Structure 1
Amino acid sequence: MLSDTSIEAYYRAEDVNFANTNNRNAIVNYHTHKKLPLPVSNSNEKLRFKVWTKMLRREPAKLTFKMIMRLAELIINSNPKIKDYLQKTYHFVFLDEFQDATNIQYDFFKSCFLGSSTAFTAVGDGKQRIMVWAGALQTVFEDYIAETGAVQMPLRMNFRSAPRLVAVLNHLTEHLLGKKELAIPSSKWDPDRGTCEVWVFENPVKEQEILFKSVEQWIKTDGIDPREICILVKQQLDIYAGNLIKYFNDNGIKARDENKFQDLLTQEVCLYIIHTLYLIFGKRSGESKDITFRFLRNLNPELQDDALLKLEYSYQGFITATKSTYDRKRLQESDINSMIDDIVNYAGKDGIRYSNLQYKNATLLEEQLDSVKKEFAINYTQSLDVLNSLDMLIGKDTIPVMTIHKSKGLEYHTIVFIGLEDGAFWSFQKQPDEDKCAFFVALSRAKEQVFFTFSKEREGKFGTQRQSTSNIQVIFDELRKSGIVKMVPKVD
């Protein structure tokens, strides 16, 4: 599969003038903006048709995901029987994170279900639209209501955040984002709960030292689980949090870049492997048993009571046999690879592929298995203990560090956002609405407390640079006007 950025080269090869007079984003959007079959009424449309044809006729064809979506839409629209089958199969359709739906995704939904008896529900929050850069359709709610006749139902109760945080969010909703949908805090909270502060530092060294002491206190004194503390950055995680992660780890608090683990740890096959290893090496938790047996049961949906009981006995026998093979020796990398292969083969690699559409691409499954092997081997080399290595892999007792985009849908007791500065929000003047929404998303991840940091100096690609807030002053102004957020200079 090709990335969107590779499209520009195809247009440049066919028409240099077109490529020179349009930037990359414009070319990428133009390439898949229209439904198939493509019109050819002018020179630009003929060029687009030529590029599509050339890409489709390659052996093997290499396409972008957006192109595949358009082709899937064409198949649906060209085959009434397929559309009818979809509509009879799915009587209910739920569209989540709808505020970030692209025009291609929305067109595909309409091709499949619009005008049918299927009931569909779209859920989203325009205040959290942070994917405009990736093509999010900014009028998607209005279009959806107009085209489906849907009834809008505001969901006002905020069950996540403490009341004082909800009050800050409401102030920003009205005065920063210009919207009227104000939330109501849950009655489970004490009305005075919730902390929001902006911490001002002289430089990143002081920032990491003071943050370390604060996090240490939250964990040791306040009893907050490290997995309930999340450090966020807007982008460029290595620049804004790379040294911070190293400082934390060097001084006894585990922290890691969670971005590269998130996708891996949401894959059912990876969780099956990890929790089977837990069972093999002595951690007989109910959670591990539930995760592994649910995975095996889903691979064999035809099995009923007696057959499921036999499968459970068989799996326990496999655990015992594998334990006797590997549990009494120091593992080599070859042992780790063989053991994970045994675990996968017990479930049945073909069954895994057939049960999950994404694994029809065999390469993807192999890549994920290789990633589990690699990460587990790295951890084992460091700890020489299997259970500790597995704990490291799932991030136990480790503070997650991630970008705002990766934090969507997640929640934490405490959020620390690094870099509420012009440098981090360098695109604010060009896309203020999207950056305001990104700030809103960061704040709304917190259940009980959130801290934004500003450093007067920040290391960047071109060395140490002075930081300011002139471009994002409107954010600081509204935080102050909320009457809740404190600006706290941090010296010691």
Structure 2
Amino acid sequence: MIKPDDWKPIEVAALEPAALGAVTATGSTLVVAGPGTGKTELLGQRAAFLLQTGRCAYPRRILAISFKRDAASNLRERVEKRCGRALARQLDSYTFDAFAKQLLDRFWRALPNHLALSGMYKIGRAQPPRQGYGQFQLSVVDALKTASGSVGWAAQMLGGQPQEHAVHAVGFDEYSRGVQALCLEPLTASSTAAFLQLVALREGLIASPPSLTFPQIGILAAAAITANPMIRTALRATYSHVFLDEFQDTTSVQYALVAAMFEGSETVLTAVGDTKQRIMGWAGARQDVFEAFEQDFLSVASAHGRLSLTKNYRSNERIVAILNILKARLAPEEPDFVAVRKAPDLPDEEICSVLVADHENAEAEAVAKLVAEAIADGTDPRVIGLLVRQRAPEWEERLRDAFDRESVTLRNEDRDVGGATIQELMTEAYSRFLLDLLEFCSRKYGGTLWSAAMDHFAAAEGIEIDDDETAERALATRVDKFHTENRIDPRVKPEPDEVRARIGAIEECVGLDRLRSLAPQYATGDFFESIRKASADFLIECAEATTSWSDAIDRFRGIGQVPLLTITKSKGLEYDLVVLLGLNDDQWWSFDRNTDEGHSVFFVAASRARERLLMTRTSRDRNRKIEEIFDLLRAANVPERRV
């Protein structure tokens, strides 16, 4: 055990003072961390400090909550690297949805009687869907007249009901956000949209089997905790520290769950986020979540307070200068970012500029040409990011021929491959397990994938091998037997039937129940089956497009391909070269509806770039709605270039 005063950051030269303060804080902290400031590293160092100094001493644990599955797994891996597996076992790293589901699965019996659940439920889609919403409104209005069914139940539970005209006045988007205004313990619905959400929840609860969305799971979990102080006490006794990542995107439902568990407790919370990157308002992100956290968790004497990180380790100094101009529009009160890296030895217009083409075909040709030149100069295709505001499939179609002529492979990460997007598939535990084992079997001696195979089998079987040599030897024998019996010739082209057979062999060896246990979201409903199908379908597609197992596996992983994705899906990623496509009113049609969020979306896109940031438009584009963005680019001395 290391004394707190003797502890030093691990595998980094130094942390900026604010970061070190957050890492070693004894009380709750709100860390404002802009792009490239090292949020994951900060949380990894924070976990190492707590575990190595005994501030979080066994049997107590650290709870880390992220928004994306890859962020949750990345943090877990970072903590293992910083302090070893033995200590890292005290970290529980989940997504919000996975953690809420785990809570409900454990404590559903504690729900109040009027919210009773049979235990077994499926993860369903939000009901009604957009196309059925009008009929849903009509059915609610009819039921209001007779106080019947789920509508009558909701009215009785709330002691009142909305007027018919109020129900008709709620649009679908407002209805979708209504779950954020619904509290189940005590039961309150602060809007007509929330009343309608209560009706939908009741319908889901009485279905056979019950069907729930993740926001509904969140409010039910919060209700079980609020109604039963013993559960709250147990959670507080378990978790001495909590990490909240990407805090700016926290919804009201998610914040209420955190508050139900830890508000007023001695548990120390570290929330890390950036209001400048708040781009999930459409999904219910709470606008005042920073202020709420300060009021609920930082107003006590033991709190450490609010800190701001300023060092940008990602982008070079030229791009950081541009980000500071954009930041001044979003958060003028915050300090400027400080660049850590020099700009490359290139003319300014090659580091950052707006490329103006005569028409769409010329735009596509120019983008394909500059990407091909970057690859020829040694840039890995995977560190080139083509970002779009929306409609990625249309951009894929527009760019495909030009990229084919340059012999560059384009990969639309937003493409649905049968139940999941390609990007989502790459982060799924099942898909990663499957591809790692297939690649393992294609290697004569396993090579570096031997350790990955051991880890995968250990996780699936739920065994710990680090401190048990007997268990490790037994597992190694099973893994070696699996490798011997399932060898793949990497040079042979896989046919669809063989792909299915290989997947079946892995599933039979490991067991579907064990594979289902790899992730909480696989436990109920049909999500696991969707991921199985999407993984198989996409691998078959990759096999048909290549000439060998080796190439098919690489294609599945995206090796040698240039990713195309929406700005929203690029959160948390970074690229040496970012090309922001379609800087025009058509792509940014909703900009003037919410200019703050529009500026945040643009800020997120620009801040993905490490070395070069290029934007495109055509001379025929309309730019009236986004004139503010062009004003900022001019203020940052970003030139336009004809291509």
Q: TM-score, normalised by structure 2?
A: 0.70
* Other-structure match for 1:134: 283
2:175–2:196: 8 Å Cα contact kept in structure 1?
no
Give the CA deviation at 1:236.
Answer: 0.9
* Other-structure match for 2:495: 332
Give the alignment's Cα RMSD to 1 decimal: 2.5
Give the CA deviation at 1:290.
Answer: 3.2
Match of 1:476 among 630, 634, 641: 630
Give the CA deviation at 1:419.
Answer: 0.6
1:87–1:116: 8 Å Cα contact kept in structure 2?
yes
1:232–1:418: 8 Å Cα contact kept in structure 2?
yes
Distance 1:362 1:321, change over 3 A: farther
2:181–2:190: 8 Å Cα contact kept in structure 1?
no
Give the CA deviation at 1:64.
Answer: 2.7
Distance 1:189 1:345, change over 3 A: farther
* Other-structure match for 1:23: 171
- Give CA deviations for 1:433-477 in whole Å, capped at 9, x if unaligned: 1011000000000000010101234xxxxxxxxx21111111111
Secondary structure (helix, strand or coil) at the match of 1:161 reads strand
- Work out the CA distance in 1 between the residues paired with 2:193 and 2:456: 50
Give the CA deviation at 1:134.
Answer: 1.2
Give the CA deviation at 1:332.
Answer: 3.5
Distance 1:226 1:20, change over 3 A: same
Mapping for residues 249-264 of structure 1, pairs under 5 Å: 249-259=404-414, 260-264=421-425
Match of 1:189 among 342, 346, 353: 342
One-letter amino acid of the structure 1 residue matched with residue 478 of structure 2: S
Q: TM-score, normalised by structure 1?
A: 0.90
Match of 1:223 among 369, 373, 378: 378
Give the CA deviation at 1:91.
Answer: 1.7
Secondary structure (helix, strand or coil) at the match of 1:323 reads coil
- Work out the CA distance in 1 between the residues paired with 2:290 and 2:526: 37
* Other-structure match for 1:460: none
1:489 aligns with 2:639: no
Give the CA deviation at 1:101.
Answer: 0.7
- Work out the CA distance in 1 between the residues paired with 2:496 and 2:361: 38
Secondary structure (helix, strand or coil) at the match of 2:641 reads strand
Distance 1:329 1:430, change over 3 A: closer
- Work out the CA distance in 1 between the residues paired with 2:217 and 2:336: 39
Mapping for residues 252-401 of structure 1, pairs under 5 Å: 252-259=407-414, 260-282=421-443, 286-299=447-460, 300-303=462-465, 304-323=468-487, 331-361=494-524, 363-401=526-564
* Other-structure match for 1:158: 312
- Work out the CA distance in 2 between the residues paired with 1:168 and 1:174: 10
One-letter amino acid of the structure 2 residue matched with residue 171 of structure 1: I
Match of 1:36 among 181, 184, 208: 184
1:176–1:478: 8 Å Cα contact kept in structure 2?
no
**Which shows bigger deviation, 148-157 or 82-91?**
82-91
Distance 1:329 1:215, change over 3 A: closer
One-letter amino acid of the structure 1 residue matched with residue 372 of structure 2: E
- Work out the CA distance in 2 between the residues paired with 1:42 and 1:378: 47
* Other-structure match for 1:433: 596
Distance 1:43 1:240, change over 3 A: closer
- Work out the CA distance in 1 between the residues paired with 2:127 and 2:272: 27
1:173–1:179: 8 Å Cα contact kept in structure 2?
no
1:233–1:241: 8 Å Cα contact kept in structure 2?
no
2:125–2:213: 8 Å Cα contact kept in structure 1?
yes
1:168–1:482: 8 Å Cα contact kept in structure 2?
yes
- Work out the CA distance in 1 between the residues paired with 2:337 and 2:483: 50
Give the CA deviation at 1:163.
Answer: 0.6
1:127–1:173: 8 Å Cα contact kept in structure 2?
yes
Give the CA deviation at 1:296.
Answer: 1.6
- Work out the CA distance in 2 between the residues paired with 1:45 and 1:361: 26
- Work out the CA distance in 2 between the residues paired with 1:327 and 1:252: 24
- Work out the CA distance in 2 between the residues paired with 1:23 and 1:330: 52
- Work out the CA distance in 2 between the residues paired with 1:44 and 1:418: 36
- Work out the CA distance in 1 between the residues paired with 2:191 and 2:578: 52
One-letter amino acid of the structure 2 residue matched with residue 164 of structure 1: R
- Work out the CA distance in 1 between the residues paired with 2:551 and 2:339: 39
Give the CA deviation at 1:235.
Answer: 0.5
- Work out the CA distance in 1 between the residues paired with 2:610 and 2:191: 54
- Work out the CA distance in 2 between the residues paired with 1:453 and 1:415: 11
Distance 1:50 1:482, change over 3 A: closer
2:182–2:197: 8 Å Cα contact kept in structure 1?
no
Structure 2: 5+ residue runs without aligned partners? 1-123, 142-163, 415-420
Give the CA deviation at 1:289.
Answer: 2.8
Distance 1:373 1:284, change over 3 A: farther
Match of 2:205 among 22, 45, 56: 56
Mapping for residues 446-485 of structure 1, pairs under 5 Å: 446-457=609-620, 467-483=621-637, 485=638
Match of 2:322 among 151, 160, 168: 168
- Give CA deviations for 1:61-114 in whole Å, capped at 9, x if unaligned: 233322221111101111222222222222221101111111111111101111
1:162–1:447: 8 Å Cα contact kept in structure 2?
yes
- Give CA deviations for 1:408-453 in whole Å, capped at 9, x if unaligned: 0000100001011111111111111101100000000000001010
Give the CA deviation at 1:261.
Answer: 1.3
* Other-structure match for 1:144: 293
Structure ranking higher on relative contact order (CA contacts 8 Å, 6+ apart)? 1
* Other-structure match for 1:464: none
1:415–1:451: 8 Å Cα contact kept in structure 2?
yes
1:234–1:424: 8 Å Cα contact kept in structure 2?
yes
Distance 1:280 1:436, change over 3 A: same
- Give the length in aligned residue pairs: 477
One-letter amino acid of the structure 2 residue matched with residue 278 of structure 1: E
2:493–2:543: 8 Å Cα contact kept in structure 1?
no
Distance 1:294 1:224, change over 3 A: same
1:171–1:482: 8 Å Cα contact kept in structure 2?
yes
Secondary structure (helix, strand or coil) at the match of 1:123 reads strand
Give the CA deviation at 1:366.
Answer: 2.2
One-letter amino acid of the structure 2 residue matched with residue 218 of structure 1: A
- Work out the CA distance in 2 between the residues paired with 1:78 and 1:137: 24
- Work out the CA distance in 1 between the residues paired with 2:189 and 2:238: 36
One-letter amino acid of the structure 2 residue matched with residue 189 of structure 1: K
One-letter amino acid of the structure 2 residue matched with residue 489 of structure 1: R
